[in-house]
Each structure stands twice: as C-alpha cells, then as structure tokens.
Amino acid sequence: MTEETTVADDDVSGPGTLRPPGAAPLVQVRGATKSFGGVQALRGVDLTLLPGEIHALVGENGAGKSTLIKVLTGVYAPDGGEFRYGGEPVRFARPADAQRAGISTIYQEVNLVPLLSVARNIYLGREPRTRWGTVDVGAMNRRAAQLVGDLGIDVDVTGELGRLGLGAQQMVALARAVSVESRVVIMDEPTSSLEPAEVETLFGVARNLRRSGTALVFVSHRLDELWQLCDRVTVLRDGHHVHTGPMAELDRVTLVSHMLGKDASEVGAQGVTEFAGKHRHGDAPVLDASGIAVRSRLSDVALQVRPGEVVGLGGLLGSGRSETVKAIYGDLPVESGRVSVAGRNLRAGSVRHALKAGVALLSEDRKAEGIIPDLSVRDNIALAVLPRMARGGIVVESRIDALVETFMTRLKIKAADTGQKVRELSGGNQQKVLIARWLCTEPTVFLLDEPTRGIDVGAKQEVQALIDELAGHGLAVVLISSEMEELVEGADRVVVLHAGRVEAELSGSELSHSRLLTALAGESADPADDGQPAGDDGQPTDGAGQPADGSGPSAGTGQPTAAVRTAAKEEEDGRG
C-alpha cells in the first residue's frame, strides 16, 4: 500500500528522458491493479509509452510484467486503474480490439495455431481475399514468404507452424506483429528462444519501428539486451511499480537491485552467469550415443557425457539440438543409432525405458511439453514419480508432500501454496516446477533444453548454480542454451551442431566466445585440427555499423561480456 505512493513519479517529467520535449505519450497506465483469487499480481502499476521509444519492462519472475501487458491489451479485465491510449481513456474488452486500435502484441507463450500453416498464422483474421471472398492462398503465401524472408528466417510458409521449433515460432509471431501497421508493439520475452543472429534481426526490426515513431515494449530476462536496445526502463517488483527512467542512467547492479529489492552492495559485482567453472568428472562416459540419425533432421550425431561433466550443445535454430536430446530420450523415431546409459543400451523410441535408465529431459517448450496446466504445483512436481509415491496403486500423500516441500524450498518456487494450479504461476516458476519434476526422478543423465529460458536473473543464477551442483554430485548434464555465456562458462565441452551434423567440438582453451560463434555459423576450421585453438582475433571486427544507441551504455557499465558479445555479433554479421 505504501510503496506505490512513495515511488517517484518521474516517468513523464523526469530528467534525462530521450524524447523531444512535449511529445505526447501514446499509452498511459496509472495505478493498474489486478488480482487472481488471493494473488495480487498488480498493485498500482504505472507505465507510460512515448512514440519512438523502446521501453524495457523488467522484474523478477512473477513480478507482474505479463499481467500488466495482458490487462493493457484486453486479455484480462483489470480490477482498477486508468488506461489511456493516444490521450483517450480506453479499456479493451478483448485482444482483437487492442490489435485493431493499433497495439500489436507478442505474448509470452506463443499464441499461434500450431495446426495451421505459417502463412495462415501470420495473416490469421485478416487473410487476403479473392474476388469471391475466399482466402487468397496464393497471395497470402507470397506475402508471407516475403515477410519471413525479410526477417531472414528460412521456413516454408505453407508448412504447419507446429512443426517449427520454438525460436522459429517466435520469429513468426514477430512477423505477424510487424505485418500490420501499429503504433505500439509489445513484445513479452520475444528473444527467449532466439539465437544471437535472430536476436540481432529482431533488434533491427525493433529499431526500424522506433525510427518510424512506434512505441515498443520489450520484456527480457537477458539483461544485457536491454542496454543494447532500450531507451527507458520500468521495473516492477511483486506487482509494485518501483522505477522508471532512462536505461543509460542505470548500471547492471542498480537495475538488479531494483528488481530484487536489495541494496546495490548486496547484489555486488556478480559475474554474468553463476557457473563456477569447470567440473571434475569421471573417465567412462555414462551417456554414450553414436550414429544417431533421424529422418531429414539428424545424421550421424554422436555424444558422450561422463559423470559430473556438463556438455553443451550449440547450434543455430534448426541445427538439431533439441532433436538430438529428444532422440536420446526416445521421443523421436530414429532411423539408426545407439544410445547407452551406464553401459546399458536404451530401447529406441521408448521414453519410459530411457526414464527408467536414469535419463531425464527438460523440454524447451514449457507449455506444450511440460506443464499440466490444470493440475496443482504439487501434482505437477510428482507426476513422473507417481508410481514411486504409491503403495499398491494408492497414492501415499505424505510421501508426495515431503518430496514437494523439499523441492519447493530447494528451488525457491514461488506459489500461493502447493495446491495452486500451475497455469497460474509465472513463467519462471513454472520452469522451476518442471526442473523439480525431473529432479524427483533422480536422473543420472539430465538433458536440459534451454533450462534458463524465460527465468529472471535471480532464478537463472539459482538454476545455473544448481546445474553446477548436480554435476558436482556426479550427474551427467547435457546443456542446450542459446545464450553464449551459459555455454562458454557453464560447459566443460561444447558440441556444435550444424544442419543436423556435428560440426565441431570445443573444449578447454578453445571454448571461447569467438570460437563458438565461428563454429555456430558453420564456418569453423576443420574439426580435425581442433588441437590448434584459433585466436580470438580470427576475424577483424568492423567498428563501423555500430547501432546508434546500441551497446554504448553497456560498455560503460562494467559489462565486458556484453561488449564482447556485441562485437562478436557484428563480426558474425559482417561475414554473413
């Protein structure tokens, strides 16, 4: 109650705002409140969007970012608050109304129709028509192909959307959002499944929109992205509005301290990831996969992981990383190949057998392949071990309670109580519930497909530390991440895939940003000569073409990694 009134009201008149003086705000939210049952998700939040700005919206998991976006765009009815759009009071009754008024939104959980074609999804609800009023499929496909091509993604627009990986789906959602003239474009974690190259594309699109006077909202847990892209930032914490101001005035530590509600000194100068470094591991691989071939996806992929080792899987969208772990897990029909765990061969195509042998897979697609939305947190956590929680087919509740309690505390899962439906948790907490589900199975091999996707700084570090801890206990970990830092700092070895084949393997001193980027682009030196680490200066960086307000601030805020990352990105861009 007190916090919302004491917050400085600096969003319109505060110092250092970048807009030309007098520019009228496009969107003004004041004192938005929203509760779900007993959970108060928003407790008086303000948000002001100016034309031609990219506005970062940040906060921990469950802070209320998505809820704010949803009450603004008519997904939920707000409980209270004042909403103005172009100066006029508005309340959108449904998302379509907001869309029609010129607010395009990419929601956090990709909200497209998996069974329809990519083109159909992009033009859903506004398909081009023929003279007879039927959908002009030809024109639609042509335009969609053009649009998607402009975004630099290589997908067949006539194919089913559901066949695409999550990252490609995010790009399709972006295509949909920018295919209409909008005055406001809201993006709730658009980059969470994207590779550096796609992130760069998205940033390019965003900057173009900004130039044309569109107001953008950008939500991301990858904090260094914010300095590259955003002009101003609004920070939420536990449904309260805690800060709004220019991005350039904040450094990472201050931002994190706002988010967590801790003192800057407490937050301290942490590294980018929480990974402690390399792990000690055994000699004999516990996971041994070789010659894995999946029709038109993978050919001859091999992967060995020793107990206590973290092996990263790198690659671009569609390079076959998720397919590799799914094939190992028995979730994809393989044409050939052999997987053994601790010397025992796994039965091809049997998830249950893999699970029994001690393999667990944390899927990248939380919504479609992870949570059971209507079940409680508790039942979701215990799902994979139900038979072990039962005696003679009858569930022993006390066993489940004990297990669930352990993991709720260990992973710091935030929920009203263990009986709350999982669909009501924020994205990050859903992710933790799923990690808990898999840890319950006490795996010896843990396949993690984007484990920190969409989770906040604090939780991300917790998960990273947890991965270290698990490896320390002798777990063999396969880590897929589209964040370079995680692979470079978290993995002992990185296997890079390209078009379904193993392209390179980096370990020891070769495991650096630039080597990884080169390998990702599919231009690595011949994998045979990997004894010779290529220097970090393999390609001259091209100083020109630095985005106007891109990495400037980040370089000045003590974030070497972000700077390196940007430079490396340009390096790659210059080549591609």
**Which residues sit at the interface with another protein, rule CB under 8 A?**
1, 31, 33, 35, 37-38, 44, 75-77, 79-81, 94, 329, 331, 351-352, 355-356, 361, 363, 368-375, 379, 383-384, 386-387, 389-390, 393-395, 437
Cα–Cα distances (Å) from 289 to 300, 305, 329, 455, 496, in that order, read 10, 9, 11, 30, 15
Among ligand ATP, Mg ion, another protein, none, partner that 75 touches (CB below 5 to 8 angstroms by kind)? another protein
- The 8-class DSSP code of residue 324 comes to H
- Which of another protein, Mg ion, ligand ATP, none lies near 39, with the C-beta cut-off 5 to 8 A by kind? ligand ATP
Q: Which is nearer to ligand ATP, 141 or 452 (CB)?
A: 452
Q: Provide the minimum distance between the beta carbon of 324 and another protein in the complex, in angstroms, as a whole number.
A: 16
d(CA 4, CA 46): 9
Please say which residue, 71 or 567, places its beta carbon nearer to Mg ion: 71
Selected binder of ligand ATP within 63, 357, 422, 434 (CB under 6 A): 63
18 binds, among Mg ion, another protein, ligand ATP, none (CB under 5 to 8 A by kind): none
Min dist. Cβ of residue 76 to another protein (A): 7
**What is the distance between the alpha carbons of residues 50 and 214, in angstroms, rounded to a whole number?**
8
From another protein, ligand ATP, Mg ion, none, interface partner of 48 (C-beta below 5 to 8 A by class): none
Give the three-state DSSP class for 114.
coil
Q: Which is nearer to another protein, 79 or 523 (CB)?
A: 79
Query: Is-contact 302 152, C-beta < 8 A?
Result: no
17, 28, 48, 61: which one binds ligand ATP (CB under 6 A)? 61
Residue 136 binds ligand ATP, judged by CB under 6 A = no
> Least distance from C-beta 64 to Mg ion, angstroms?
8
Q: Which of residues 95-114 bind ligand ATP (CB under 6 A)?
A: 108
Question: For the chain, how far is it from start to end, CA to CA, in angstroms?
Answer: 53
Where residue 574 falls (left for φ over 0; alpha for ψ -120 to 50; beta otherwise) is: alpha
Given the complex with Mg ion, which of 63 and 153 has the nearer CB atom? 63
43-54 residues labelled b (16+ CB within 10 A) or e (exposed): bbbbbbbbbbbb
Reduced to 3 states (helix: H, G, I; strand: E, B; else coil), residue 59 is: coil
CB nearer to another protein: give 171 or 440.
440
Residue 4 C-beta: closest distance to another protein, Å: 10
Q: Which is nearer to ligand ATP, 234 or 482 (CB)?
A: 234
* Residue 21 site contact among ligand ATP, another protein, Mg ion, none (CB < 5 to 8 Å, cut-off depends on kind): none
Q: How many helices (H) and strands (E) does the chain have?
A: 21, 22
Q: Which residues pair with 336 in a beta bridge?
A: 293
Q: How far is the CB of 463 from ligand ATP (least distance, A)?
A: 13
CB of 428 to ligand ATP, least distance (A): 4
Binding segment toward ligand ATP, per CB under 6 A, in 59-67, 329-337, 485-493, 534-542? 59-67
Dihedral (Cα; 178, 183, 186, 187), 10-degree rounding: 30
Minimum CB distance to another protein smaller for 376 or for 512? 376
Give the nearer residue to ligand ATP in terms of CB position, either 252 or 421: 421
- Say if CB 565 and CB 484 are below 8 A apart: yes
Tell me the Ramachandran region of residue 144: left when phi exceeds 0, alpha when psi lies from -120 to 50, beta otherwise: alpha
- The CA distances from residue 537 to 503, 542, 561, 567, in Å, are 21, 12, 16, 11
Out of 17, 28, 48, 66, point to the residue binding Mg ion (CB under 5 A).
Answer: 66
In the range 412-431, which residues lie near Mg ion by CB under 5 A? Answer: 427
For residue 323, which phi and psi values (nearest 5 degrees)? -60, -40
Per CB under 6 A, 214 contacts ligand ATP: no
Q: Which residues are 215's β-sheet partners? A: 184
> Nearest approach, Cβ of 505 to ligand ATP (angstroms)?
34
Q: Compute the distance between CA of residue 220 and CA of residue 133 in angstroms, rounded to an integer.
A: 41
φ and ψ at residue 341, rounded to 5 degrees: -125, 120
DSSP 8-state code for residue 394: E
Q: What is the rounded distance in angstroms from the CA atom of residue 450 to the CA atom of residue 463?
A: 11
Nearer to ligand ATP, 65 or 513 (CB): 65
Q: What sign does the dihedral 18-21-24-30 (CA atoms) show?
A: positive
User: Shortest distance, CB of residue 240 to another protein, whole angstroms?
Assistant: 14
Q: Residues 6 or more apart from 22 whose CB is under 8 A from it?
A: none
Among 17, 28, 48, 67, binds ligand ATP (CB under 6 A): 67
Total chain residues near ligand ATP (CB under 6 A): 19
The partner in contact with residue 145, picked from another protein, Mg ion, ligand ATP, none with C-beta cut-offs of 5 to 8 angstroms by kind, is none
The nearest distance, CB 369 to another protein, in angstroms, is 5
Considering the complex, state which of residue 30 and residue 143 has its C-beta at the smaller distance from another protein.
Answer: 30
Residues 422-481 that bind ligand ATP (CB under 6 A): 424-428, 456
Which pair of tokens denotes residue 536?
A: 């970090």
Question: Judged by CB, which is closer to another protein: 201, or 430?
Answer: 430
Tell me the C-alpha to C-alpha distance, in Å, between residue 161 and each of 167, 171, 243, 410, 444.
Answer: 11, 11, 38, 37, 34
Residue closer to Mg ion (CB basis): 64 or 500: 64
* Structure token pair of residue 353: 């057998």
Phi/psi of residue 566, each to 5°? -65, -45
Q: Which of 383, 492, 474 is nearest to 437 (CA)?
A: 383
Q: According to CB under 6 A, which one of 18, 23, 39, 101 is a site residue for ligand ATP?
A: 39
Distance (Å, whole) CA 421 – CA 36 = 12
Q: Does position 108 bind Mg ion by CB under 5 A?
A: yes
Query: How far is the C-alpha of 529 from the C-alpha of 326, rounded, in Å?
Result: 30
Q: Which residues bind ligand ATP (CB under 6 A)?
A: 36-37, 39, 41, 59, 61-67, 108, 424-428, 456
Q: Which residues bind Mg ion (CB under 5 A)?
A: 65-66, 108, 427
